[in-house]
Chain A
Amino acid sequence: MLGKTLREHVGGRWAISWLYYLINFPLVVFNAVHNSTNNPNGSFSAWLAIGLMGYLCFGLVFVLANFTLFRHRRVKPVPITWVICLGILAGSSRWLVVTLLPNEWGFSNEGPDKIAIAVLTGAILGGVFVPLTALIFSVIATYLNLRSTLVGELTALHRSTLQNIEATKVLRMAIMDEATSQIVNAASARALSHDLWEDKEKQRRLHLGWFRILHTALLRNPYQGAAVSIIWSISVIRGLTVAIGFPLALTQVICSGILIFIIYKIASRFTFVTNRGRIFSFCAVMLLTVIVTGPLASLIFDERGIGEAWDLILFNSIWLPLLTIWVSLFSSAIRTPELILQDLKERIRAEEVAAQASSDQRREIQREVAESLHDMASRIHTSKSLTGAELNIDFGDLLDPPQDLDSPTEIINKTLDAWASIMSLEVHMDLGACDSQGAVQIRRVVQEGLANSYRHGNATSCKVLVNFQGDQVDVNVSDNGVGLPTNFTPGLGSVILESICGENWSLTNSPSGGCTLTATVSLEH
């Protein structure tokens, strides 16, 4: 996957220029110091100016390229050959500037052959470094794009899992609450289901830090011995050629390169278990390389001795670790994103499984809730029918066994007799054509009235009037008790009266004291 995007995305990027500036600036300064101390002509500032001009020359090429060749780099990838050519151009022009200018200004007297070597070296360096840097940045950019896509995908999955878990929790709670009947009508059931479907999940973003890629780049990187030694060789050969001559310099570079390669090869064979071990080995290898290419190489190949060759030793000691890190980053930019992306994909798979599991669970709970809601709805319906007059279902029938054997008068008298034994009753009853079913209702109203009078009113005598009115019966129970308390609250009796009479009943204080229950029992069934 990365191989393809690598080919597609290699192209000019601003980053190439600024990376170049970043890495090369210390070298420009170093070169200025080196030249001003080794060469009697020209001050430090003059050499620095020359170095900076070359430096700017290199950069200028890229700035121009960014506006011309690489203008459409975000839309269309720039071919790698262009980048190589540009690198060659930039490198050679830079080296041309820094070797030609001192000659022109009389600071040094290098022949055309040396200038040609310098330009060639610059061209090689530019042609190698620039595309490699472009590759690194392309890989990193591609990786970041892919990574953010994958992280986005993972986050979405994770969120949906959490959402499912959250919803499951809510549903569970809903079932609990359902037991205590929080849903009383269709509206509240709808409200609940609305809550369930509402996205309550907070925005959560998975954290995948930058440290991870740096960590992997530095610690999990198998050292690229060959790359380091080759690149180093090219970069160092020029300096050595000036100091000790080309044949000796070439020998030193080849020998040092082989040694570095061997060191890295051996180091990469180690299996380091802990991070600390990796850091230690990295530092050790780095130090060893610096010694091999710096002081050791100078002792062997450089005839001038350490005292005179210190600048080259220093140069190698700074440049080489930098180069190593750079190569490490390059190789890890290709390797570690693959690992991290692989890791992300595995996590995505795990999340998918989790999301699936939680959504299965949610479906199950939803079925449970659906059933409960169904039961609830029917219960609401039933209780409404039982207590409300609208559906005209007689609640009494459900609780009172039918009393077919007794006549309407007997049914009512049974209750009246019971009360008459403990309080004095005056009864005027006209049941007319009222049937047993109506009588049961009337009996219950009378019972409510008398019980209320005796228990709450402390009444000793009551007057019961029952008047048949054709399709309805008026019931009136008045007593000589204490009357209704001011803080009267309706109780169960009210429900019973309402289930029988609907709205057609009232309990009021009589002007003569005591209270009066007036109710109308409808005889229509």
Chain B
Amino acid sequence: MTLRCLVVDNDAFSRTTVAAALNGQHFDVVATVGTVPEAMAVDATSIDVAVLDLDLGGGPNGVDLAHALRRVSPNIGIVLLTTFSDPRLFAASIKELPASSTYVVKQSLVDIRILTTAIEASYQNIQSETAVELPRIPLSDTQIETLRLVAYGLSNSEIARVRVVSQKTVETSIKRAAKALNIDPSPSANQRVALVRAFFALTGPTLHTHLHR
């Protein structure tokens, strides 16, 4: 059967490209929208699978939207298509992904079949209640959160204040994160900058618009 898809991405180029690619792969893209209200305006019962970007500009994010869609139509397949190598990188604490959703990192899309397989899997497994398999980078929640704040531009003392921990803990967290990301201390390079670069490499290029949300 031909699966009916909804593509939600706040980046116009991204959503039209994805929609065109899916139409060429025997999918029926019912709607291509850029915002949450537009997505909620689409009749959810007419959709089999929603392909959502995690980052949907201000307001609710992709995971919030996925939950809202599931509430309207419990059998809808959810595919999260995002630049974030690990959903924990997107926000400090996002809601858990709805059951059986699929998480696809944009950078890994070397072939459109990766996306089509993910869409099909998210629809076929809808009844199976399988746990969502999420990509995980080798960093703890604490380290990710600390790195986010480093990228945010905070000093260690500020991070310590925000996270209600000691400054020493922040230093340790940063050191461990650097070790996990193979950023060795070197007198010729600023480790903090290297860390932030690594962080943005993992989040994709769009994070700067999300830092303040």
Q: Is A2 an interface residue (CB 8 A)?
A: no
A517 to chain B, nearest CB (A): 15
Task: Tell whether A370 is near chain B: CB-to-CB under 8 Å.
Answer: no
Pick the contact of B153: A383, A423, A492 (CB < 8 A): A383
Interface string of A480-515 (1 = CB under 8 A from B): 000000000111111110000000000000000000
Which parts of A169-222 form the interface with B (CB within 8 Å)? 172, 175-177, 179-182, 184-185
Q: Point out the residue from A399, A421, A447, A496 that lies within 8 Å of B36, measured CB to CB.
A: A421
Chain A residues contacting B155 (CB-CB under 8 Å) are 181, 184, 379-380, 383-384
Contact A180 B171, beta carbon cutoff 8 Å: yes
* Smallest CB gap from A376: residue in B: B155
CA distance A387 to B41 in the complex (A): 38
Minimum CB distance partner of B162 in chain A? A495
Q: Closest B-chain residue to A416, C-beta based?
A: B59
Query: Do A489 and B93 touch across chains, with their CB atoms under 8 A apart?
Result: no
Cβ-defined contact, A491 with B36, below 8 A: no
The answer for the CA separation of A414 and B56 in the assembled complex, in Å, is 13
CA distance A420 to B36 in the complex (A): 9
Question: In the complex, how many angstroms separate the beta carbon of A165 from the nearest chain B beta carbon?
Answer: 16
- Cβ–Cβ < 8 Å partners of B167 in chain A: 184
State which of A175, A396, A399, A421 has its C-beta within 8 Å of the C-beta of B68: A421
Q: Are A180 and B178 closer than 8 Å at their CB atoms?
A: yes
Q: A180-B175, A494-B162 are in contact. Are A421 and B211 (CB under 8 A)?
A: no
Contacts of A177 in B (CB 8 A): 185
Taking the closest CB of chain B, its distance from the CB of A434, in whole angstroms, is: 18
Q: Judging by beta carbons under 8 Å apart, are B39 and A421 in contact?
A: yes
Inter-subunit contact B35/A418 (CB<8 Å): yes
Given contacts A418-B36, A418-B59, A418-B60, contact A455 B95 (CB under 8 A): yes
| Nearest-Cβ distance from residue B210 to partner chain A, whole angstroms | 9
Residue pair B93, A184 in contact (C-beta under 8 Å):
no
Q: What CA separation (Å) do A444 and B209 show in the bound complex?
A: 13
Given A180-B192, A181-B192, are A415 and B59 also a contact pair (CB < 8 Å)? yes
A396 and B212 contact, Cβ closer than 8 Å, known pairs A182-B171, A418-B37, A494-B162:
yes
* A238 adjacent to chain B (CB < 8 Å): no
Q: Is A382 an interface residue (CB 8 A)?
A: yes
Interface range for B: 35 or more
- State whether B154 touches A387 (Cβ < 8 A): yes
Q: Which residues of A contact B156 (CB under 8 A)?
A: 180-182, 184
- CB pair B154–A495 under 8 Å, yes or no, is yes
Say yes or no: B59 contacts A447, CB within 8 Å: yes
Write the nearest CB–CB distance from A354 to chain B, whole angstroms. 22
Interface readout for A345-387 with B: 1 if CB under 8 Å, 0 if not? 0000000000000000000000010000000000110111011
| Bound form: Cα–Cα A182–B192 in Å | 11
**Cβ-defined contact, A382 with B153, below 8 A:** yes
Inter-subunit contact B192/A179 (CB<8 Å): yes
Choice from B37, B56, B163, B187 contacting A417 with Cβ under 8 Å: B37
CB distance from B61 to the nearest CB of A (A): 8
B92 / chain A contacts, CB cutoff of 8 Å? 491-493
**Among B64, B158, B189, B192, contact of A387 (Cβ-Cβ < 8 Å):** B158
- Cα A455 to Cα B178 in complex, Å, equals 30
B128 CB, min distance to chain A CBs, angstroms: 24
Tell me which residues across on chain A come within 8 A of B64, comparing CB atoms.
422, 451, 454-455
B104 to nearest A CB, angstroms? 22
Closest Cβ–Cβ distance, residue B205 to chain A (whole Å): 15
| Chain B residue contacts of A455, Cβ below 8 A | 64, 93-95
Q: Which of B173-211 contact A (CB under 8 A)?
A: 174-175, 178, 185-187, 189-192, 208-209, 211
Known contacts A417-B37, A491-B93; decide if A383 and B191 are in contact (CB<8 Å): no
Given A180-B174, A181-B155, A399-B212: A421 and B58 interface contact (C-beta under 8 Å)? no
A419 at the B interface (CB under 8 A) = yes
Instruction: Decide: A176 and B158 in contact? CB cutoff 8 A.
Output: no
Find out whether the CB atom of B185 lies under 8 angstroms from the CB atom of A386. Answer: no
Most buried by A among B155, B164, B209: B155
Shortest C-beta distance, A420 to chain B (Å), equals 7
The answer on a CB contact under 8 Å between B157 and A184 is: yes
Is A428 an interface position by the 8 A CB rule?
no
Q: Which residue of the partner chain A has the closest CB to B68?
A: A422
Q: Is the CB of B157 within 8 A of A185?
A: yes
13 residue pairs of the A-B complex, CB under 8 angstroms, read: A177-B185, A180-B174, A180-B192, A379-B155, A386-B154, A418-B36, A418-B59, A418-B60, A421-B41, A454-B64, A454-B95, A492-B91, A492-B162
